[in-house]
């Protein structure tokens, strides 16, 4: 649980930093690409919980 919260905080910090510094966001520009990232992250989290 703590790693999940830490990951979310880090992701938000990176996003905010990219926005404030006008650096292009390190994410896919299309909805399908963003959904792929979400699906891969969800799969990673589910596999981690099943393995534990």
Check residue 26 and give its pLDDT: 65
Is the model more confident about 1 or about 25?
1
For residue range 21-48, what is the model confidence (pLDDT) as tens digits? Answer: 887 766 677 877 777 788 888 888 888 8
Asked if pLDDT for residue 1 goes beyond 80, the answer is no
Number of domains in the chain: 1
**15/6 Cα distance (integer angstroms):** 14
Structural domain for 21, as ranges: 2-51
């Amino acid at each position: 649980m703590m790693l999940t919260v830490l990951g979310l905080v880090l992701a938000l910090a990176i996003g905010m930093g990219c926005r404030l510094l006008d650096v292009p966001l390190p994410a896919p520009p299309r909805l399908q690409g963003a959904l792929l990232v979400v699906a891969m992250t969800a799969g990673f989290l589910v596999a981690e919980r099943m393995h534990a």
